[in-house]
């Protein structure tokens, strides 16, 4: 079962509950996914259950002279449409 998903550009990395990589997919493998509120991210992460169900948008990553800049979107604060898209993305990642 997938616990965490990282999306970097067009690559989708799926991890189990031990945070070990279990598969790599492409965004083009998914249908009906827009994630409009996560556009312009360098990385976005979906936590399926741990520590909480959420999406995190990173617009900057930690590098030598830059600190990570991110926005957290807890599932409970998402609109019903965003929740449906989140769930669809996770379900498709599980099935692919």
CB 17 within 8 A of CB 50: yes
d(CA 29, CA 12): 10
pLDDT, tens only, 55-93: 999 987 767 776 778 889 999 999 999 999 999 999 999
First-to-last alpha carbon distance for the chain, in angstroms, is 12
pLDDT band at 37 (very low <50, low <70, confident <90, very high): low
């Amino acid at each position: 079962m997938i616990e965490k998903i990282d999306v970097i550009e067009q690559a989708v990395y799926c991890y189990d509950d031990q945070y070990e990589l279990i598969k790599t997919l492409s965004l083009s493998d998914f249908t009906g996914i827009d994630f409009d509120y996560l556009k312009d991210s360098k990385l976005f992460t979906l936590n399926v259950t741990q520590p909480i169900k959420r999406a995190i948008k990173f617009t900057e990553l930690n590098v030598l002279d830059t600190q990570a800049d991110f926005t957290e979107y807890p599932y409970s604060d998402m609109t019903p449409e965003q929740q449906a898209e989140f769930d669809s993305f996770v379900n498709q990642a599980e099935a692919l």
